[in-house]
Amino acid sequence: MNGRISIHPRICHGQACISGTRIPVHQIVRMFAHGDSIDVLVGAYSSITREDILACLDYAASLAEEQVTPLDDVVLAR
């Protein structure tokens, strides 16, 4: 996340936040998911940038990425 996302146990109970702020990643992702644009988010939080928001989305995508485990032949034979 290029240093834009930080996790510290004493900041926001250890939740991932935009570095240098107490703005949790989940809050930005949720607002974006509910239709807020990058411009609206930057306007609402003057301490963050477009790049911070993109880092939040990248962080969320990394968490949501699934590891695909191939099924073995025994399971397929059933």
What is the tens place of the pLDDT at every residue in 4-57?
999 999 999 999 999 999 999 999 999 999 999 999 999 999 999 999 999 999
Q: What's the CA dihedral at 28, 34, 37, 41 to 10 degrees?
A: -30
Q: Which amino acid is at 50?
A: R
d(CA 33, CA 65): 17
Residue 28 CA, chain-centre distance (Å), reads 8
Q: Can you list the domains of the chain with their CATH numbers?
A: 5-77 (1.10.10.10)
d(CA 64, CA 29): 12
Q: Which residue has the higher pLDDT, 37 or 2?
A: 37
3-state secondary structure of 71: coil
pTM: 0.80
